[in-house]
Structure 1
């Protein structure tokens, strides 16, 4: 499967190869500018995994319903797309968005998911009603898709797709991301045409 898109048109091309049961994807596959309820049945998390995610959310906040996730991606984002202007977001981005959400939703609680939980323990140490869940990637993905309130995401395909599934099932969920995506430091969209109309982009 290969993507081809510009500001006017998006297309997917399927090239047949030797093996009929394997599919290889080339591209970011984040061109879902609009959401369709017709896709909700197609994009469903495995129920066993979804149930595990809901149980973890409930264990973190037994008496809360207005729960948001925060996805903090570091790792390769410390040097990609360049060492001088990496895609990693500063702590202030997350902290400011937490304040913004709480201004509109005073009872909001937050679950943090990351590939660097130790870093998150340091930057969120004084934030109330916030829990860090250190789990595997599949569980992290499922948790993001089950947080009713929405989430604050990194410029990451991983949290983009989890948010996409969340929005299909909960259209009122609020998804906040950095403007210009991975190019937020240079004020230039990276990759091009990545902008989605169901995400609230914040410039900082």
Structure 2
């Protein structure tokens, strides 16, 4: 079996599932999801909103260091390293690590795995898995159908938890202004759909001369579904809008992404995070 530790927000969950799915197929074994982090995390496990066969790991499936009954974590880690058949694999680098793709059966994955290179070879399977099964209201369904017929551009502004974040800066207004200029030079009759966790800031500051609509009052999974229905994308430095753009099915989609993903306090290479054909500014 392959066990993937699932943690963080929806974008992180999708990356963690994607690598686990790839390794389970490669090893012809079952994929279990360890969702025990959500016992103490205010964020929600969201993968049940997709066309995924969910196999949730039980306590007895987990490494000793992840079991609630083990209060001495140091001894549990030593036991995992020396005696457990289940090998715990921690992510070593932020950039793509090709050795990960050779992890064998009986592996426990702990990391973020943020590169399409971890699952590019199963893209068709993954897209089928990540078909949305969440229910939409009549108004949301009508909006989704309209978005699909237009030269729609999803624009994502993430502020909220990023305003004072140690790792992630907020994207500058200059980034959005430049991205809007670039994309409107290439897309005739564009219509913008703006998604944000700070919609009031976006309404006050974004100057869009083309038709546009601010998307409000949705939960994360509905926003992601509507975002993925768009044809083109201006994303934030966020795995949430990364997946919104990735899941978009328009063959000639244009995706604009920020070059600056992290604050200067860290030295993470994002060379494998953004697909080559995306425009980085």
Question: What TM-score does the superposition give when structure 1 sets the normalisation length?
Answer: 0.74
**Alignment partner of 2:155: what SS?**
strand
Tell me whether 1:48 sits opposite 2:135 in the alignment.
yes
Tell me whether 1:95 sits opposite 2:182 in the alignment.
no
CA distance in 2, matches of 1:51, 1:177: 32
Tell me whether 1:196 sits opposite 2:249 in the alignment.
no
Tell me whether 1:160 sits opposite 2:248 in the alignment.
no
Identify the match of residue 162 of structure 2 among 77, 80, 84: 77
Change (3 A) 1:190 1:49: farther
CA distance in 1, matches of 2:190, 2:245: 18
Preserved CA contact (<8 Å) 1:54 1:146: no
Change (3 A) 1:177 1:10: farther
CA distance in 2, matches of 1:9, 1:179: 23
**C-alpha RMSD of the superposition:** 3.3
CA distance in 2, matches of 1:179, 1:189: 14
What's the offset of the Cα at 1:30? 2.1
Preserved CA contact (<8 Å) 1:102 1:108: yes
Identify the match of residue 258 of structure 2 among 178, 184, 189: 178
Change (3 A) 1:26 1:157: farther
Q: What aligned pairs does 1:92-131 form with structure 2 within 5 A after superposition?
A: 92-131=174-213
CA distance in 1, matches of 2:205, 2:173: 6
| Number of residues of Structure 1 aligned to a counterpart in Structure 2 | 185
**Alignment partner of 2:194: what SS?**
strand
What's the offset of the Cα at 1:105? 1.0
What's the offset of the Cα at 1:180? 3.9
Structure 2: 5+ residue stretches without partners: 5-89
User: Is the radius of gyration larger for structure 1 or structure 2?
Assistant: 2
What's the offset of the Cα at 1:179? 1.1
Partner of 2:100: 11
Which protein, 1 or 2, shows the higher relative CO under an 8 Å CA cutoff with sep ≥ 6?
1
More helix by share: 2
CA distance in 2, matches of 1:53, 1:10: 43
Partner of 2:226: 143
Question: What TM-score does the superposition give when structure 2 sets the normalisation length?
Answer: 0.55
Q: Deviations over 1:141-193 (max 9, x none)?
A: 1111111x221111111111222221xx333222211114224xx49864655
CA distance in 2, matches of 1:30, 1:53: 30
Preserved CA contact (<8 Å) 2:157 2:196: yes
Partner of 2:111: 27
